[in-house]
């Protein structure tokens, strides 16, 4: 404020006074500035002198025991007291900071140790799982190789074109030679990934074969022709004696005796191509199936609403056991024809995985 006031006075006089007066005003301004600095310097000096005086003051500290022992006392200056207090404060604060840092560091070490132990357990578990997966991968390859081999044995018709399993299944190495366990496990995972990735094509071919086989089974007459009953086979397929003429003849089906009205079902998916009556067969139904199969159900007491051209599914009721036509009692005469040849229905009614391949080969050769 003093500076600005002096500057204001100087400028005011500059505008109104001659040069001599200007010099006088300049000297007055410089004196005022010097006076102000002297006052400031004196104030600073007085402050430090006051500090020095106060700092040199001494305090007497007396330690008075509760017994009659000598009183212990000593003197300490204000500066020394400030120094000791500051030093103790710094030591206490430093000790607190170090203790806090030590506690935090110790907690971090404990946490890292626990995480390390957990990671080691996880790593051990992963190693065990990888070993199990590696074993499972070998079993998987072995099983798929067996499936492909079985399908390849079925795919024996040279006229059918390229084999469904012409492509070989990717191999799985028995061992992986690496320097470190982690490298070996990584190699195992990569091998498993390649194995599963490369197996897609082969599994697609297996799927096609199984889909075709499922379609074959759905359209092969393998279901028992009676619903809710087993019946009694009174006459089997093959040469036998006619009960009426006593002359030998070729029996083209099987006779299953049971009570009148027992439901008769379609033994496979197909289309009804005939519902008729003859003196020999009585009421009968003929169904055409895929792959060249035909089935016939004779001596029925009546039809179950199925007509020529209707599609039927496996298990649909198509009629009921009766005694119509030339018969000695209530029974179902059931026939299976493959193309123009009659075949024994029992080889389909008792179909098993063991004879499925034989049946499939026979079906392929008859196409």
What is the structure's pLDDT at 177? 45
Task: Give φ, ψ of 317 to 5 degrees.
Answer: -75, 125
Nearest partner of 302 among 264, 329, 268, judged by Cα: 264
Asked whether the predicted pLDDT for residue 106 surpasses 50, the reply is yes
Of residues 25 and 88, more confidence is placed in 88
CB atoms within 10 A of CB 57: 10
Asked whether the predicted pLDDT for residue 176 surpasses 60, the reply is no
Q: What percent of the chain has pLDDT over 70?
A: 77
Distance (Å, whole) CA 189 – CA 171: 14
The chain-wide mean pLDDT, for the chain, equals 79
Of residues 22 and 132, more confidence is placed in 132
User: Which pairs with CB-CB distance under 8 Å and at least 24 residues apart come from 182-188?
Assistant: 185/126, 185/127, 185/130, 188/130, 188/133, 188/134
What is the structure's pLDDT at 358? 56
Both structure tokens of 77:
């200056």
Asked whether the predicted pLDDT for residue 205 surpasses 70, the reply is yes
Confidence of residue 155 (pLDDT cuts 50, 70, 90): low
Of residues 134 and 178, more confidence is placed in 134
Mean pLDDT over 212-238 rounds to: 86
Asked whether the predicted pLDDT for residue 13 surpasses 70, the reply is no
Confidence of residue 153 (pLDDT cuts 50, 70, 90): low
Confidence of residue 151 (pLDDT cuts 50, 70, 90): low
- Identify the bridge partners of residue 63 per DSSP, sorted by sequence position: 72
Asked whether the predicted pLDDT for residue 8 surpasses 60, the reply is no
pTM higher than 0.75, yes or no?
Answer: no
- CB-based contacts of 9, cutoff 8 Å, min separation 6: 25, 28, 29
Both structure tokens of 357:
């391949």
What is the structure's pLDDT at 279? 93
Instruction: Give the length of the chain.
Output: 367
């Amino acid at each position: 404020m003093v500076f600005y006031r002096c500057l204001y006075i100087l400028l005011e006089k500059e505008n109104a006074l001659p040069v001599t007066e200007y010099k006088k005003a300049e000297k007055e301004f410089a004196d005022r500035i010097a006076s102000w600095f002297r006052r400031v310097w004196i104030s600073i000096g007085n402050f430090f002198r006051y500090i020095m005086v106060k700092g040199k003051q001494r305090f007497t500290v007396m330690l008075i025991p509760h017994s009659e022992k000598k009183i212990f006392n000593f003197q300490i200056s204000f500066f020394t007291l400030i120094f000791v207090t500051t030093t103790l404060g710094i030591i206490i604060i430093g000790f607190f900071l170090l203790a806090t840092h030590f506690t935090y560091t110790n907690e971090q070490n404990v946490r890292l140790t626990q995480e390390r132990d957990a990671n080691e357990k996880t790593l051990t578990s992963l190693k065990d799982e990888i070993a199990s997966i590696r074993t499972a991968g070998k079993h998987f390859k072995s099983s798929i190789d067996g499936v492909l081999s079985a399908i390849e044995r079925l795919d024996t018709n040279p006229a059918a074109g390229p084999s469904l399993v012409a492509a070989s299944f990717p191999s799985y190495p028995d061992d992986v030679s690496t320097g470190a366990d982690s490298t070996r496990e990584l190699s195992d995972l990569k091998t498993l990934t390649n194995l599963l990735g490369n197996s897609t094509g082969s599994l697609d071919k297996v799927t096609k074969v199984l889909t075709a086989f499922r379609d074959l089974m759905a359209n092969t007459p393998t279901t028992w022709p009676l619903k809710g009953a087993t019946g009694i086979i009174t006459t089997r397929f093959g040469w036998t004696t006619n009960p009426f003429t006593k002359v030998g003849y070729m029996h083209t089906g099987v006779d299953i005796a049971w009570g009148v009205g027992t439901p008769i079902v379609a033994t496979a998916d197909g289309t009804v191509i005939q519902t008729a009556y003859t003196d020999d067969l009585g009421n009968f139904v003929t169904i055409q199936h895929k792959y060249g199969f035909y089935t016939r159900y004779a001596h029925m007491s009546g039809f179950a609403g199925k007509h020529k051209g209707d599609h039927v599914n496996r298990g649909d009721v198509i009629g009921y056991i009766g005694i119509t036509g030339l018969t000695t009692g209530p029974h179902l005469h059931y026939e299976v024809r493959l193309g123009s040849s009659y075949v024994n229905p029992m080889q389909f009614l008792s179909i098993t995985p063991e004879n499925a391949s034989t049946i499939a080969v026979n079906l392929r050769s008859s196409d």
